[in-house]
């Protein structure tokens, strides 16, 4: 879309077995799970679905049965149309784990973000540690994380992992002050929600190692990520209370460590709203606008864009 192409949202896994939306990729190196594409059609007939696909009336998820819809008046996502003056877009997202944020993009990148945790009211004790990304842009891209988060001068009351794809990705209590974690990320993000008393006085230390796929050699010896074989990050609860979000970028493709405050209120499973778009075309005579919804478990859904030619 940056180059002027008018494309629709689609998602699929390299599943190899013909079970559309029903299986993970065919071998361990293709990714974490298969995606799902959704179609908005007037009927479940072959002709109607084919016409809807051709019209880009689609949304795409990371494999969950989530739903995203974008409208502008009588037009829905995928449509291209002319419009005079500012355009009001209506969005709706349905999920199963609670929505964390809604983000709007155009050909330039992100243009708007809605933080549901902030809207619900941030807690003084509930926080989230997130990590993710990939080592390289390649089939063998994933980062194998193993580490621990140590919180002192505070009390870890409870914690739970989110975003893990299988039982070998996990987190556990190592001691009264330390939580261990292990997972692989292929560009996705995993997280641990933590309930902490006395966050204001807390000292937080995150450390660990990043490994990769052993294509040649002894897999028992591992394959440390040459650009960042180890990571370490120290901060305080006071800094997190002040900033609400802290982030440490790492080498690789969108690899990072993050700490965020969360709300005590459960995130909503349905989110609706509107966004006004200024009447400015891009360099190709129109402005594409599409939305991304992300749940608390990092499940995502993208809408196709509406392609607006402002007059």
Same domain? For 225 and 304 the reply is no
Question: Tens of pLDDT along 49-97?
Answer: 999 999 999 999 988 889 999 999 999 999 999 999 999 999 999 999 9
For 53, the 3-state DSSP assignment is helix
Same domain? For 73 and 127 the reply is no
| E strand residue ranges, 25-175 | 36-39, 58-61, 67-72, 75-76, 80-83, 87-94, 99-106, 109-115, 122-134, 143-152, 155-162, 170-173
Residue 244, CB-side half-sphere exposure with 13 Å CA sphere: 9
Answer yes or no: is 95 within a domain: yes
Angstrom CA distances, 174 to 95, 156, 273, stand at 33, 12, 43
Looking up tokens 């089939």, which residue turns up?
139
Same domain? For 102 and 59 the reply is yes
For 83, the 3-state DSSP assignment is strand
Q: Among residues 229, 244, 263, which one ends one of the domains?
A: 263
What is the rounded radius of gyration, in angstroms, for the C-alpha atoms of the chain?
A: 21
Asked whether 299 and 4 are in contact (CB, 8 A), the reply is no
d(CA 126, CA 262): 6
Strand ranges across the sheet with 67-72: 75-76, 67-72, 87-94, 270-277
Mean pLDDT over 26-53 rounds to: 83
Same domain? For 239 and 305 the reply is no
pLDDT at residue 18, rounded to an integer = 64
DSSP H helices, the chain, are 46-54, 116-120, 237-243
Answer yes or no: is 25 within a domain: no
Number of structural domains the chain divides into: 2
Q: Which CATH number characterizes residue 208's domain?
A: 2.60.40
Q: What is the mean pLDDT of the chain?
A: 93
| Rounded to 5°, angle at Cα 299 from 297 and 302 | 150
Residue 201, CB-side half-sphere exposure with 13 Å CA sphere: 7
Residue 85 lies in domain: 36-117+267-310
221 burial level (CB within 10 Å; 0-12, 13-18, 19+)? exposed
Question: Tens of pLDDT along 206-236?
Answer: 999 999 988 888 888 889 999 999 999 999 9
Phi, psi of 79 (to 5 degrees): -75, 150
Kindly state the percentage of the chain with pLDDT values over 70.
Answer: 93
Q: Among residues 247, 263, 279, which one ends one of the domains?
A: 263
pLDDT band at residue 26 using 50, 70 and 90 as cut-offs? very low
Asked whether 32 and 165 are in contact (CB, 8 A), the reply is yes
């Amino acid at each position: 879309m940056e180059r002027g192409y008018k494309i629709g949202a689609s998602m699929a896994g390299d599943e190899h077995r013909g079970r559309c939306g029903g299986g993970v990729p065919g071998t361990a190196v293709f990714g974490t799970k298969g995606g799902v594409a959704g179609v908005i059609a007037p009927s479940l007939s072959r002709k109607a679905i084919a016409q809807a696909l051709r019209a880009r009336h689609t949304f795409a998820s990371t494999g969950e049965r989530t739903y995203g819809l974008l409208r502008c008046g009588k037009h829905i996502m995928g449509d291209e149309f002319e419009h005079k003056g500012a355009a009001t877009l209506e969005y709706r997202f349905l999920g199963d784990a609670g929505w964390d944020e809604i983000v709007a993009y155009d050909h330039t990148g992100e243009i708007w973000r809605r933080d549901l945790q902030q809207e619900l009211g941030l807690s003084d004790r509930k926080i989230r540690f997130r990590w993710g990304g990939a080592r390289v842009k390649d089939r063998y891209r994933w980062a194998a994380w193993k580490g621990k988060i140590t919180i002192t001068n505070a009390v870890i009351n409870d914690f739970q992992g989110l975003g893990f794809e299988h039982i070998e990705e996990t987190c556990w209590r190592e001691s009264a002050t330390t939580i261990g974690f292990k997972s692989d990320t292929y560009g996705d993000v995993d997280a641990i929600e933590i309930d902490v008393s006395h966050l204001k006085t807390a000292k937080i230390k995150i450390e660990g190692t990043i490994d990769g796929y052993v294509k040649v050699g002894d897999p028992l010896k591992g394959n440390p990520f040459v650009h960042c074989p180890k990571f370490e990050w120290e901060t305080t609860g006071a800094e997190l209370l002040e900033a609400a979000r802290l982030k440490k970028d790492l080498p690789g493709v969108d690899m990072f460590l993050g700490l965020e405050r969360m709300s005590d209120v459960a995130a909503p499973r349905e989110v609706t709203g509107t966004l006004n778009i200024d009447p400015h075309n891009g360099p190709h005579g129109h402005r594409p606008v599409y939305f991304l919804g992300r749940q608390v478990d990092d499940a995502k859904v993208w809408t196709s864009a509406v392609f607006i030619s402002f007059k």
